[in-house]
Amino acid sequence: MSQFEYPRPQLQRDAWQCLNGSWDFTFDDERRYRHPGDDIVWDRRIAVPYAPESRASGIGDQGFHTVCWYRCIFTLETRGARTMLHFGAVDYRAQVWVNGVLVAEHEGGHTPFHADVTDALLAGEEQTLVLRAEDDPSDLAKPRGKQDWQLEPHSIWYPRTTGIWQTVWLEPLPSTYIASLRWTPMFDNFEIGCEVLAAGAVQARMLVEVRLLHNGVLLAADRYLLVGQEANRKIVLSDPGIDDSRNDLLWSPERPTLLDAELRLYCDDQLVDSVRSYTALRSVAINRDRFMLNGRPYPLRLVLDQGYWPDTLMSAPSDDALRRDVELAKEMGFNGVRKHQKVEDPRYLYWADKLGLLVWGEMPSAYAFSARSMTRLVKEWTEVIERDYSHPCVIVWVPFNESWGVPNLTSTQAHRNAVEALYHLTRMLDATRPVIGNDGWEASATDILGIHDYDGDPEKLQARYAVTDQVRTLFDQRRPGGRILTLDGFPHRGQPIVLTEFGGIAYDPNAPEGHTWGYSRAGDAASYLDRYRALLKVVNETIMFSGFCYTQFADTFQETNGLLNADRSPKVPLEQISAATRNVPR
């Protein structure tokens, strides 16, 4: 398998050109340059798509830099009627020129953007792409997640990411093409919703053919007339009616059944475009105090995953590394991950879809509240939901975490309004998934009550969540982490309760004293495993909980509270971690 695979797994074409590799690069701290035509001094080379702060980039400069420039001189491998230039993610504000022509501007460090560069291409073979990235390291009013605003990473924050950090690629297109595709599983009626949007020289009498297959067996083949530029239809599958047969088609972590999809766009029976995709039939819902998967209560066993690597930071070292992270989560006994403060590469979601791993999608936080910061967050969060909507592995949306960016929820109405607005916006954009308005504490509008509690004493943890009048006492009197769990006016209405952060046991025998961070510490591997077993036994056996999320998947810089070392090697045998996670006898 190559280092970089097709970057948009749910809308694939045969022809594409990866532009990752060695590019010209320079920092522009004095903001001397405004246009590629300026006399830019290209004094470095960088390995795209790795951020200049990373060692893998070949630069490894983690200082404060507000502006940097990139240049790539490339040759088109294939020319289509149109040529689209794609960026997976550029942090934070990007301007893009092709052969001196401004073709794109985008704000938001975690979401993709593209530009039709056809009219900017030269007749000859050689083309020049220039990108300017602006990313103020001290700006706390932009969605930044775990990127530290201090020069040296401290506490639970990590090195910054500037500029390009996901794949850059070209795509030759016909004059009329399928621009977007959206799948909605409808479990109750055994249906799949399919929304197709065409772009380019769209004409009357255009139609799209959709074929769904399972293991090569045709399930459906239909043609839909485009009205305007789109077709929006429900594909009804044959429902066998009993669980044994239904399960052959349903997606779950235990049986991650994917349905292959082929789409062809026609104009007057002439084929003009074709793409490959996939979808799945599954449902996620809330029923009283339980999380439901495919109509049945489903206990959540999640692990918090920061999505960082030592040499490449937020960028994955390779597609194999993304696949291996999914495999490791499953091998440790978890059925899902909470991607924390990061919008993960679509290739990770592809492997979670294919191998069977639930994913909670979470918005990277801004930390300073203002109308501008909320406007930025809303724009980028909307793009996140649009990008990841069709992935069956994504089961929950989390716009806020631990009141970050809205620190005065108990006293400031505007902060409460922000959480409630994002909750309802998310439910409007995606009515098929539960939403946690603010995870951890101080909940208002929410479908699941997520609690963060890092008490390292299993007996105290058990006592706190096993009181006689469990729910009333918990929400009225007890304050895990010193924070109230629900805001006034938003009493617990019977929603599922999930312990969405706990544990955080630090263990790294090779780290110098005082150079690591964790919520509690273990001195050796045996005590580390014993403490993990004790905590997991409590949370597995606490009837109040519909699930849990352990902190965390892997060590991340100074945070040494991972089950794995930063290089993904296990601290104790994986089979022992798995047994403890699932609370089965040794």
| pLDDT tens figures, 521-566 | 888 999 999 999 999 999 999 999 999 999 999 999 999 999 999 9
- DSSP collapsed to 3 states, 482-539: HCCCECCCCCCCCCCEEEEEEECEECCCCCCCCCCECCEECCCHHHHHHHHHHHHHHH
Helix, strand, or coil (residue 246) = helix
Residue 540 pLDDT: 96
| pLDDT tens figures, 331-361 | 999 999 999 999 999 999 999 999 999 999 9
| pLDDT tens figures, 180-213 | 999 999 998 899 999 999 999 888 889 999 999 9
Distance (Å, rounded) from C-alpha 322 to C-alpha 202?
Answer: 37
Confidence of residue 480 (pLDDT cuts 50, 70, 90): low
Start-to-end CA span in the chain (Å): 37
Helix, strand, or coil (residue 243) = helix
Residue 124 pLDDT: 79
The CATH fold of domain 299-582: TIM Barrel (3.20.20)
Confidence check: pLDDT of 142 > 70: yes
Confidence check: pLDDT of 474 > 90: no
Confidence of residue 469 (pLDDT cuts 50, 70, 90): low
When mean pLDDT is compared over 253-262, 455-464, 513-522, the highest value belongs to 253-262
Confidence check: pLDDT of 470 > 60: no
C-beta separation of 399 from 447 below 8 A = no
Residue 476 pLDDT: 57
Whose tokens are 């050796």? That residue is 524
| pLDDT tens figures, 230-257 | 999 999 998 776 767 678 899 999 999 9
| pLDDT tens figures, 31-76 | 999 999 999 999 999 999 999 999 999 999 999 999 999 999 999 9
Confidence check: pLDDT of 281 > 90: yes
| Pair of tokens at residue 117 | 């560069």
Q: What mean pLDDT is predicted for residues 1-18?
A: 87
| pLDDT tens figures, 508-525 | 877 766 666 778 888 899
Domain boundaries, the chain: 17-170, 176-279, 299-582
Residue 159 pLDDT: 95
Q: What is the DSSP letter of 447?
A: S
The CATH fold of domain 17-170: Jelly Rolls (2.60.120)
CA distances from 20 to 65, 114, 170, 462 (A): 22, 15, 11, 50
C-beta separation of 168 from 86 below 8 A = yes
Comparing CA positions, the residue from 2, 17, 19, 3 lying closest to residue 70 is: 19
Share of the chain above pLDDT 90, in %: 84
C-beta separation of 112 from 86 below 8 A = yes
Confidence check: pLDDT of 108 > 60: yes
Q: What mean pLDDT is predicted for residues 328-333?
A: 98
Contacts of 407 (CB under 8 A, 6+ apart): 369, 415
Confidence of residue 472 (pLDDT cuts 50, 70, 90): low
Average pLDDT, the chain: 93
Confidence check: pLDDT of 418 > 60: yes
Q: Kindly provide the residue ranges of all beta strands, DSSP E only, lying in 259-381, ordered along the sequence.
A: 259-267, 270-279, 284-287, 290-293, 296-297, 300-305, 336-339, 358-362
Residue 1 pLDDT: 33
The CATH fold of domain 176-279: Immunoglobulin-like (2.60.40)
Q: What are phi and psi of 332, to 5 degrees?
A: -90, 10
